[in-house]
Structure 1
Amino acid sequence: MRPWKTLLLAAALTLSAAVPSAAAPPAVPAPDCAWKPLGYRTSNVAFPDTNAQYWLLHHTVRKGLRITLDGRFPDARYASFASYDATRGSFTGPDGKPSVLTDHHIVPDPGSRNPFLRDARPGGKYTVTVSDDAAHRNNVLPLAPAGTAEGSAGTVIYRLYLPHGGEVELPKVTFELDGHRVRVPTCDDALTPAPPAPPAPASEARAARAVTGAIAPAPARPAFARTAGAGLYPNPDNAYLSTGFEAPAPGQVLLVRGKAPTATAGDRAQPWPGRGKAQVRYWSMCDNLWWGPGEVVVNPLPDGTVDPGCRADFDTRLAADGSYTYAVGTEEQRATVEGVPGVTFLPLSAATPTAKHLLILRNMVDGPGFDGAIQRVPVGSDPVRTAEIMGAHYPRTGYCALSTLTSSGPDGCPVA
Structure 2
Amino acid sequence: MHSSRTLVAAVALSAITVFAGAGSAVAAPAIGSVDFGSSTGSETGSSSGSGFGSVDFGSGGPDVEHPVSTCFWSVPINPERADPQLNYAFPDTAAIYWAAQFTIPEDAELVVRGQYAHARYQSLNSYNAATAMPTAVLNDISTAPDAGSHNTYLPGADRSNDGARSYTASVRNEASPAEPKPNTLYAGVPGQDRISLLYRIYLPDNGRDLTGGVGLPEPELRLSDGRVLRGEDLCSAVGADNGILKPASLPLDTYKALRDQPGKPSTFPSEQTPVWRAYYSAEFTLGCTYLGKCDGTPQRVGGQYSNIDNSYVTAEVNRGFGEVLVLRGELPRTPETTTGAKNLDSAVDMRFWSMCSNESLATTKVATCLFDEQVATDAAGRYTIVASLPEDRPANATKECGVSWLSLSPAGDGAGHLDDSLLIMRNMLPANDFGHAAHDTRTPGDEKAVMGQYLPDGQYTSKLAFEGSGCAK
Task: Return the TM-score normalized by structure 1.
Answer: 0.72
CA distance in 2, matches of 1:377, 1:63: 41
Whichever of the two has the greater Rg, that structure is: 1
CA distance in 2, matches of 1:407, 1:355: 24
Say whether the 8 Å CA contact 1:73–1:122 is kept in structure 2.
no
Partner of 1:170: 216
Helix, strand or coil: the match of 1:314? helix
CA distance in 1, matches of 2:471, 2:99: 42
- Offset at 1:247? 2.6
CA distance in 2, matches of 1:273, 1:136: 29
Question: 1:171-213, CA deviations, whole angstroms, 9 ceiling, x for partnerless residues?
Answer: 11123454464324599xxxxxxxxxxxxxxxx9xx98x9669
Identity %: 29
Question: 1:113-172, CA deviations, whole angstroms, 9 ceiling, x for partnerless residues?
Answer: 111124232542111110145542111001223xx1253x43111111111223221011
Structure 2: unaligned runs, 5 residues or longer: 1-69, 236-251, 282-301
Say whether the 8 Å CA contact 1:284–1:363 is kept in structure 2.
yes
CA distance in 2, matches of 1:53, 1:264: 19
Say whether the 8 Å CA contact 1:248–1:329 is kept in structure 2.
no
- Offset at 1:272? 5.5
Number of residue pairs matched by the alignment: 336
CA distance in 2, matches of 1:313, 1:72: 25
CA distance in 1, matches of 2:277, 2:395: 30
The yes-or-no answer on 1:89 pairing with 2:133 is yes
Q: Cα 1:344–1:269, aligned 2, differ >3 Å: closer, same or farther?
A: closer
Task: Return the TM-score normalized by structure 2.
Answer: 0.64
Partner of 1:257: 328
Say whether the 8 Å CA contact 2:109–2:223 is kept in structure 1.
yes
Letter in 1 for 2:183: N
Partner of 1:154: 195
Equivalent of 1:106, from 143, 146, 153? 143
The yes-or-no answer on 1:182 pairing with 2:223 is no
Say whether the 8 Å CA contact 1:54–1:160 is kept in structure 2.
yes
Aligned pairs for 1:6-405 within 5 A: 33-36=71-74, 37-40=76-79, 41-42=82-83, 43-60=86-103, 64-86=107-129, 87-91=131-135, 99-117=136-154, 118-120=156-158, 121-123=161-163, 124-132=165-173, 135-145=179-189, 148-151=190-193, 153-164=194-205, 165-167=207-209, 168=211, 169-176=215-222, 178-179=224-225, 181-185=228-232, 215=266, 220-228=272-280, 230-249=302-321, 252-267=323-338, 268=340, 274=346, 277-297=347-367, 309-334=368-393, 336-339=395-398, 341-352=401-412, 354-378=418-442, 381-383=443-445, 385-405=446-466
Say whether the 8 Å CA contact 2:114–2:218 is kept in structure 1.
yes
Structure 1: unaligned runs, 5 residues or longer: 1-31, 92-98, 188-203, 298-308, 412-416
CA distance in 2, matches of 1:156, 1:67: 13
Say whether the 8 Å CA contact 1:317–1:344 is kept in structure 2.
yes
Helix, strand or coil: the match of 1:364? strand
CA distance in 2, matches of 1:67, 1:294: 32
Superposed CA RMSD in Å reads: 3.1
Higher normalized contact order (CA 8 Å, seq sep 6+, divided by chain length): 2
